[in-house]
Amino acid sequence: MLDEPYRWVEAIRNRREYLQDQLAGASPVVACRYADGLLLLTSTPGPRKIFEAYNQIAFAGVGHPADIEKLRKAVIDIAHLEAFNLSARDVSLQRLVNFGAGPLMKAAFDEIFRSPFIARIMVAELDPTDDHETFSTVDADGSFGAAQSTAVIAGSPEVTEMILAQLPDDDEPAPLEQALVTALRAWGVGRLRAEAGDDEFAEPTSAQISAAIDRALVSIRLEAGVLDRTMQRKTKFRLLDQATLTSAVDAVRGA
Amino acid sequence: MTDGGDGRSGVNPLTDGSDFLHLLREHGHAAVSTMSDAGPGALDPPTEGTTILAIRYRDGVLVAGDRRATAGNVIVYDRAAKVLSVDDRSVMALSGSPANAYEIARLLEISFQHYRRTQLQELSLDGRLRTLSRLLRDNLPMAMQGIGAVVPIYVTYEPESPRDGYAEGGKIFFYDVLGATFETVDFCTTGSGSPIIRGALYYQNRWEQPFAERDEESTLLLVLKMLETAAEFDTATGGFSPTAAIYPQVMRVTAQGISTIDEEILAATYRSANVAG
């Protein structure tokens, strides 16, 4: 049946729609640079979504938790094999995405009779060789793109665009506390945009953003991680503690 | 990535994906070389010979090694690093064939990182000891042929673990070439120069000041004296060379993590005690 070109195209189209439906409710991952490194922020009802992949590389995903785990494991495996066969300095975001996660997700997407990865992922590298590849995002169909200062993975393109518009494209990134508040605020705007669906959407007020975050935090919790170049260890990744996140929520409420 | 069972992801849910050594074999990389078809004496004498020692003192453990690498009666290198950090709280000191020892240290470091990142928790102390033991067993054919034996000391600073019955503090483990693990309480020394100083270390600990009561300064002085003593009687152990500024390598493993004792401090200690007089 699928050897007919039309059927195959139709099957791929159905698959794309299926993935859009499955991922529509995903809580976004918001990423940006800050003065001492990179910040990634999201929310989750339980399972973690932001992880350390290698010394200077972080991984984040939205979608089905089991698929995020498979992709996370694959990226970590590739990174450590590279580190063993070559050196730690040869482990890069570009290789992990362009030759690893991207083709892996594309192959899964193309296999019509098997489930694709129901996930979108983001990989972030602290101080990469090429500044334009600080962040990389991979869609469920395996297509990927790189970004220098900010990146978002979300349930829909509209939410992604709305959040990106809230993030400054600064040459001089802000300190962590300030960047965290900006990212959280952008995440709140994204949540309002997702709630609006196809309805008309006007720029929300600070009170509306704060209320949206408060509503969300009833059933989910915030999660944030940084790649911090000031850390005196090989690994630059650390999760932010609850007190830091609570301070950011308070700052958004007070704005 | 290879097909790991689900046809696409390199992940096989039926085999635990936490084992980096398994992952290496799956991808066609031997964990350590086995070279089983080379007979004894097929190569020139291997590069080896060392004195390494670890002493548990009041604040943790000092781990030290001389810098000389030899092949037979030839000095190959006089600035070899024999104490390597494995992670943020443990180090491995190496005696034996440097090529295999460095490979084992590298594998150990990457294995622990891989486990922590995939499993989202630190590998237990028993798990770390077992991993090193497996690597030594994999190295057995090389050791049996007399060209690749590795006898490491593994030193770690562990937080208190009531579940495993550990108190907080420094721990010293040593291995034989077959991979058997032994824990020693106060000190450990291996390598060609170790028989020369083992009795002296015992004497110091038993009849002079116990090591566990010593501060870092006096422990460091003892370490340097012991390495000089080993170098005096063992040609494969390098001594302190003031003209070439070659100092032993000394690392401290404490609650604050791993750090190397600066050469300025070593030089001052040598001068103060006239160790290399």
Distance from CA of B64 to the nearest CA of A (A): 22
The residues facing B183 across adjacent strands are: B173
Minimal Cα distance from A47: which residue of B?
A: B120
How close, in Å, is residue A61 to chain B by CA atoms?
15
Between residues 73 and 132 of chain A, which touch chain B (CB distance below 8 Å)?
73-74, 76-78, 80-81, 83-85, 100, 104, 107-108, 111, 114
pLDDT over 70 (residue B6): no
- Residues of chain A with pLDDT below 70 are 1-3, 255
Has residue B78 got a pLDDT over 50?
yes
What is the per-residue pLDDT for B43?
47
For B86, the closest chain A residue by CA position comes to: A234
Contacts of B107 in chain A (CB under 8 A): 84
Nearest-by-CA chain A residue for B85: A234
pTM of the model: 0.88
Do B114 and A85 count as a contact with CB atoms less than 8 A apart?
A: no
User: For residues A44 and B272, which has the higher predicted lDDT (pLDDT)?
Assistant: A44
- Predicted confidence at residue B74, as pLDDT, reads 80
Q: Residue B106 corresponds to which tokens in the numbers above?
A: 């590298």
Chain A contacts of B23, Cβ < 8 Å? 77, 80-81
Other C-beta atoms lying within 10 Å of the C-beta of residue B275: 17
pLDDT digits 0-9 by tens, B98-126: 778 888 889 999 999 999 999 999 999 99
**Distances B1 to A61, B13, B173 between C-alpha atoms, Å:** 19, 15, 36
Best mutation target among A67, A69, A73 (most B Cβ atoms within 10 Å) is A73
Q: Which residues of A touch B110 (CB under 8 A)?
A: 80, 83-84
Instruction: Name the residue facing B110 among A84, A111, A233 (closest C-beta).
Output: A84
Q: What is the pLDDT of residue B234?
A: 86
Cβ within 8 Å, pair B27-A73: no
Q: Pick from B3, B6, B8, B11 the residue to mutate for testing the A interface (most A CBs within 10 Å).
A: B8
For residue A200, the model assigns a pLDDT of: 81
The predicted structure's pLDDT at residue B260? 94
Among B8, B11, B20, select the one facing A80 at the smallest CB separation: B20
CA A109/CA B111 separation, integer angstroms: 31
Give the best residue of A68, A72, A80, A123 to mutate against chain B (max B CB count within 10 A): A80
pLDDT at B30 over 80: no
**Active-site positions of B?**
50
pLDDT digits (tens, 9 = 90+) for A58-112: 999 999 999 999 999 999 999 999 999 999 999 999 999 999 999 999 999 998 8
Given this model, what pLDDT does residue B48 score? 55
Confirm whether the ipTM is greater than 0.90.
Answer: yes
CB contact under 8 A, B114 and A76: yes
Q: CA B236 to CA B50: how far, in whole Å? A: 6
Q: What is the pLDDT of residue A46?
A: 84
What is the reported pLDDT for B162? 84
> Using N-to-C axis directions, what is the helix angle for A206-216 and A242-254, rounded to 10°?
150
pLDDT, chain B, mean:
83
Beta carbons within 10 angstroms of residue B121's beta carbon: 9
Task: Give the C-alpha separation, B95 to B68, whole Å.
Answer: 11
DSSP B32-55: S---TTPPTTSSSPPEE---EEEE
Q: Which residues of B touch A54 (CB under 8 A)?
A: 117
| pLDDT score at B14 | 43
- Is A76 in contact with A54 (CB distance < 8 Å)? yes
Q: Does A51 touch chain B (CB under 8 A)?
A: yes
Q: pLDDT tens digit string along B189-208?
A: 998 889 999 999 999 999 99
Facing residue for B117 by CB, picked from A53, A71, A111: A53
In this complex, do A74 and B11 lie within 8 Å of one another by their Cβ atoms?
yes
